[in-house]
Structure 1
Amino acid sequence: MLCSMTGFGEARSNGDAISVHAEVRSVNNRHLKVNSRLQDGYGSLEPRCDALVRNKIRRGTIQLTLYVDHEISPDDLKINQTVLLSYHHQISEAASKVAMADDVRMDSSILLLPGVVDEGARKAPDLDEEWPLIEKVVNEALDNLTAMRQEEGAAMAKDMRSNRTLISDQLAEIEKRAPVVVESYQRRLLERLNHLLQKHDLNVDASDVIKEVGIFAERADISEEIVRLQSHLEQFDSILDSKEGAGRKLDFLIQEMFRETNTIGSKANDAEIARHVVEIKSTIERLREMVQNIE
């Protein structure tokens, strides 16, 4: 199954006094590049997170973002009384200047002001204890990313098969036209010779005509290129059906298809075949663009 290199996946789960949320984004890249964004205190987990990504993803630029929240217990919070009293003093002083009530009462909203509640007493996270939950969530996010990439890959495979059929149809027309090219050349050559013979009263050995036509036929023979291009199309189908990473194989195969098509165009020396060649090259270019986003 084809797998796109672009996608998004996320997952979240709760444990004892901990909540973990992971997001994974991917874009195309010729190789695998992993960028992990971990909050303070979790930087040492980056190699482990990178290993999880590399275990599931072959190609692409992967952006992993990890969020870990802890439940706050009363022991984690301390009220900074100095800051609190300073706020109260300033509020009371301002109230007296604008003729507010003499007694300015404090309610719980004052605790939301910056610096009033100090969370500095919170303990550092126990990474080994938290890792099993983090690992589970990151793997689930990667699985969701893969599912999205596979869904997009299936749509791309359908489009690519449609374009492959267009190439096959054009190639069939070229194969049908190829024998006619030599016959057409022989007819044109005889017409020109007859005209010259009548005009200048000359004689031409028939063997010379046959030899000239044979040289042209050999030079314009595209049967091998047609067979190779047909073989490439069969390989194309096989790769699309494979379960292995197909991106690099398809990229190489498309280069070979383009090369054979160019050779057909340069050897055929025929306007109708040239028109089919242009259509094939245009279709191959569309395939090339799609393949750049295949894992």
Structure 2
Amino acid sequence: MILSMTGFGRSEGVFEGKKITLDLKSLNSKSFDLNIKMPQRYKEKEFEVRKILNDRLLRGKVDCYINIESLDDAADVNLNQELVHSYISELKKIAGDGPDFEYLKMAIRMPDVISTKSENLKEEEWQVLKDILEDAVLKFENFRQTEGEILHAELKRNIQNIEGYLAKVIPYETIRLDAVKEKYRNTLKEFDQIDETRFYQEMAYFTEKLDIAEEKVRLTQHLKYYLEVMQNETFNGKKLGFISQEIGREINTLGSKANHAEIQKLVVMMKDDLEKIKEQTLNVL
């Protein structure tokens, strides 16, 4: 079964006047690369969040964004008025008399003037966040599965295209060897004395050199194996990548032995589909 490395999942929940939103999204990557952005109040749970995501998502460049939005009318902040007055007083000493409003604008930008009301993270809030995380992961996994089904269809079509091109090579094999034999016979007619034994030795050598039977068999086996792994194994992206490399080797050897214009055209078309397979395989989990 194919799963895409690309994914997206969003979930929301409410706890004591706070709306909690969690977004997950990912792109392909050779390993698991996780970036988390969360409010300071949840930092103590970052390790646990990372472990859940690492165990479930496995691979990909993953971004996790957690956001809190207050639903209460009252602002959840503290303004240190004594510190503000102190800053204004010190600013006046340095800059002299001036409009208090200007000093106020400068003072509220100073450190520790405005602070968020801090509370210890309750176990109930952590459980709500955990449920939101689990829901987002589930949606993320469903997204990967849906994208994987699209990938599966595209990869299968490309593999079948290569199989079709390989089947079209067969009629040209005999024509290709007959053309080589005829070329040598015509060349030898220019000479008075011909060593027929040597002629047949040379023909046997070129026939063996141009023979593509083994390449066809191996390529057929690799194509079949790719489809089997894609259908029957999970988390198979790396394995499919290795198989596509083997497919490429056989196609290249087939091209180097072709010695026929129509076979070369078919090899070019095989390579075109193989490039699509390699690109798509990079996005398989």
TM-score (norm 1): 0.79
Query: Which of 243, 266, 269 is the equivalent residue of 1:276?
Result: 266
Quick one: which amino acid aligns to residue 30 of structure 1?
K
Quick one: which amino acid aligns to residue 173 of structure 1?
K
Shift of residue 257 of structure 1? 0.8
Shift of residue 175 of structure 1? 3.1
Partner residue in 2 for 1:261? 251
* Structure 2 runs not aligned, ≥5 long: 85-107
Instruction: Tell me whether 178-187 or 213-222 shows the greater mean CA deviation.
Output: 178-187
- Whether 2:193 is the aligned partner of 1:193: answer no
Partner residue in 2 for 1:44? 44
Give CA-to-partner distance per residue, 1:203-241, whole Å, 9 cap, x none.
Answer: 213222211110001111111111111011001111221
Q: 1:77 to 1:207 in 2, by over 3 A?
A: closer
* 2:78 and 2:116 in contact (8 A); partners too: yes
Give CA-to-partner distance per residue, 1:1-31, whole Å, 9 cap, x none.
Answer: 2122222110112345543221001111111
Q: 1:78 to 1:123 in 2, by over 3 A?
A: closer
Alignment partners' CA distance in 1, 2:147 and 2:74: 48
Quick one: which amino acid aligns to residue 169 of structure 2?
I
Root mean square deviation of aligned Cα: 2.6
Partner residue in 2 for 1:212? 202
TM-score (norm 2): 0.81
Alignment partners' CA distance in 1, 2:199 and 2:251: 30
- Whether 2:32 is the aligned partner of 1:59: answer no
* Structure 1 runs not aligned, ≥5 long: 84-113
Alignment partners' CA distance in 2, 1:251 and 1:41: 42
3-state SS of the aligned residue for 2:4?
coil
Alignment partners' CA distance in 2, 1:293 and 1:75: 44
What percent identity do the matched residue pairs reach?
26
* 1:175 and 1:226 in contact (8 A); partners too: no
Shift of residue 77 of structure 1? 7.3
Shift of residue 185 of structure 1? 1.1
3-state SS of the aligned residue for 1:126?
coil
Partner residue in 1 for 2:219? 229
Partner residue in 1 for 2:27? 27
Q: 1:58 to 1:74 in 2, by over 3 A?
A: closer
Q: Give runs of ≥4 in structure 1 deviating > 6 Å.
A: 73-83
Q: 1:229 to 1:75 in 2, by over 3 A?
A: closer
Residues matched between the structures, number: 258
Partner residue in 1 for 2:142? 147
Query: Which of 102, 126, 133 is the equivalent residue of 2:128?
Result: 133
Q: 1:34 to 1:77 in 2, by over 3 A?
A: closer
* 2:6 and 2:27 in contact (8 A); partners too: yes
Give CA-to-partner distance per residue, 1:139-195, whole Å, 9 cap, x none.
Answer: 11111111112211211211111111110011111233223322221122112222x
Shift of residue 59 of structure 1? 1.2
3-state SS of the aligned residue for 2:19?
strand
Partner residue in 1 for 2:88? none
Instruction: Tell me whether 120-129 or 210-219 shows the greater mean CA deviation.
Output: 120-129
* 1:42 and 1:127 in contact (8 A); partners too: no
